[in-house]
Amino acid sequence: MKNDQDRPLTRQDRCDRCQAQAYVRAVLPQSTELLFCVHHFRLYRAALEGMATHIHNESHQLLSQADQRPQWSAARDAES
């Protein structure tokens, strides 16, 4: 069974700073859990890595989502 701190994040999980979709969970001592969007995780990463007991990072999902979106090029836009 997976550890609770490794459970997948869902679309309902929101960044504690800005309410965007969370892709990172940082577990602090005494099991305090903080959720971050990728932007805010990058801002606080150094501090979190120094104090968190566990960091669960699903930011790779952003790349896989981008791969599924239609690709547009400047040439295609110029044809319109």
Largest CA distance in the chain: 58
pTM over the 0.85 mark: no
Distance CA 54, CA 64 (A): 24
Q: How far is CA 3 from CA 39, 53, 56, 67, 70, in A?
A: 25, 13, 11, 29, 36
Q: Which two tokens stand for residue 36?
A: 């971050």
Q: What is the mean pLDDT of the chain?
A: 85
- Reply yes or no on whether the pLDDT at 1 is more than 50: no
**Contact in structure between 23 and 36 (CB atoms under 8 Å):** yes
- pLDDT tens track for 40-62: 999 999 999 999 999 999 999 88
